[in-house]
């Protein structure tokens, strides 16, 4: 009695996640049960991987912040790169992995840190007289430093007289006092 072998079964495709597509490139045909005579089965599929793109750091100066103080203006956010590979398997063993394409899935956002540069000016003892440039203190009497006056306040010159010379610091009336 002669038996005929069963007809060849069509290649089976397996359901894979959306990111993986399995495409058989060679199909094994039914062979006798001798494994030494079977041909290897080669399959390929696309695999998607994601890599982190680290954010960059940027420092700017800010004259409204006290000197040395740091403040994050914009928080940094990492980005993502999408890599698509074609992976080849022979009899279920990976034999090749080739990068097919890559794209930035999410752009990174730089972190911006402000560093303060503001220097507080030392406070003047008392107020300044508006008749003079710079700061001539308001007092009962002001004299030029190094002169013959007896104070109680002294000022170093030269100082420009921009109003009335109430302390008589500009002896030659040329508009510049304590010269």
On whether the CB atoms of residues 37 and 24 are closer than 8 A, the answer is no
Q: Which are the contacts of 12, defined by CB distance < 8 A and separation ≥ 6?
A: none
Residue 118 has pLDDT above 80, yes or no: yes
Report whether the peptide linkage leading into residue 158 is cis, meaning its omega lies within 30 degrees of zero.
yes
Predicted structure pTM score: 0.45
CATH of domain 41-118: 2.20.230.10
Residue 28 has pLDDT above 60, yes or no: no
Residue 21 has pLDDT above 50, yes or no: no
* Residue 137 to residue 154: CA distance in whole angstroms: 8
Q: Which are the contacts of 128, defined by CB distance < 8 A and separation ≥ 6?
A: 134, 135, 136, 137, 138
Residue 53 has pLDDT above 50, yes or no: yes
**Predicted confidence band at 26 (pLDDT cuts at 50, 70, 90)?**
very low
Token output for 147: 């002169």
* Residue 179 to residue 171: CA distance in whole angstroms: 9
Question: Cβ-count burial of 32 within 10 angstroms (0-12 exposed, 13-18 middle, 19+ buried)?
Answer: exposed
Residue where the block lists tokens 């696309």:
46
Backbone torsions φ then ψ of 131, nearest 5 degrees: -80, -10
* Residue 78 to residue 56: CA distance in whole angstroms: 9
Determine the average pLDDT of the residues in 133-140: 85
**Nearest by Cα to 48 from 87, 20, 79, 78:** 20
**Would you state the pLDDT for residue 29?**
40
- Lowest mean pLDDT across 1-10, 38-47, 134-143, 158-167: 1-10
- Indicate where the chain has its CATH 2.20.230.10 domain(s): 41-118
Residue 45 has pLDDT above 70, yes or no: yes
Going by their DSSP bridges, the two strands 111-118 and 142-144 should be labelled as: unpaired
């Amino acid at each position: 009695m002669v038996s005929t072998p069963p007809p060849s079964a069509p290649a089976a495709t397996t359901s894979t996640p959306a990111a993986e597509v399995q495409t058989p490139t060679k199909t094994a045909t039914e062979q006798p049960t001798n494994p030494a005579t079977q041909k290897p089965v080669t399959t390929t599929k696309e695999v998607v991987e994601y890599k982190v793109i680290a954010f960059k750091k940027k420092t700017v100066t800010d004259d409204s912040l006290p000197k040395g103080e740091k403040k994050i203006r914009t928080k940094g956010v990492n980005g993502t790169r999408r890599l698509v590979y074609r992976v080849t398997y022979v009899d279920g063993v990976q034999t090749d992995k080739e990068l097919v394409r890559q794209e930035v899935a999410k752009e990174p956002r730089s972190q911006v840190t402000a560093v303060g540069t503001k220097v507080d000016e030392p406070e003047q003892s008392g107020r300044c007289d508006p008749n003079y440039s710079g700061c001539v203190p308001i007092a009962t009497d002001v004299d030029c430093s190094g002169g013959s006056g007896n104070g109680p306040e002294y000022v170093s010159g030269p100082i420009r007289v921009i109003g009335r010379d109430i302390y008589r610091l500009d002896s030659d009336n040329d508009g510049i006092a304590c010269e």
